[in-house]
């Protein structure tokens, strides 16, 4: 189920579970992938915050890099949010199944 979520990933954003199916024995479980993704998104957010602080403190003059870092963090977060919404929708759908 997690495979079909992010087939295209040009920026190398963290939510790329790879070709492995989480059900295959020996591969990372979906839970592990999700936890790692959340941690990666958090790292990107921290990077963006550091970049902004450096700009405000005058430690860097490279506005392009700061903007890129902020946009990466934003996209990663939105990505995570979309995945989370899909998971919730899927869970609700399963709840509705009549056994």
Partner 1 sequence: MDVLTKSLTFLEQRHRIIADNIANINTPFFKAKEAPLDEFRKSLADALRAAGKTGASALTLRSTEHVSFGPDGMAVTPVKANAPDAVLRHDQNNVSLEREMAALAENTLLYRTLSDLLRKQFMMLQTAVKERVE
Which of residues 1, 11, 46, 56 is near partner 1 by CB under 8 A? 56
Could you give the CA distance from residue 22 to residue 13 in angstroms, rounded to a whole number?
19
Size of the site for partner 1 (CB under 8 A): 17
11 binds partner 1 (CB under 8 A): no
Pick between residue 30 and residue 77 the one whose CB is nearest to partner 1: 77
Q: Determine the interface stretch with partner 1 among 7-15, 20-28, 32-40, 78-86 (rule: CB under 8 A).
A: 78-86
**Residue 30: Cβ-neighbour burial (10 angstroms; 0-12, 13-18, 19+):** middle
64 binds partner 1 (CB under 8 A): no
């Amino acid at each position: 189920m997690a495979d079909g979520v992010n087939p295209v990933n040009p920026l190398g954003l963290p939510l790329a579970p790879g070709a492995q199916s989480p059900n295959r024995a020996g591969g990372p479980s979906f839970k592990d992938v999700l936890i790692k993704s959340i941690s990666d998104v958090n790292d990107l957010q921290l990077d963006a915050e550091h970049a902004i602080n450096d700009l405000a403190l005058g430690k860097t003059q490279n506005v392009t890099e700061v903007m890129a870092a902020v946009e990466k963090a934003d996209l990663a977060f939105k990505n995570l949010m979309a995945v989370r919404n899909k998971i919730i929708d899927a869970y609700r759908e399963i709840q509705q199944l009549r056994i």
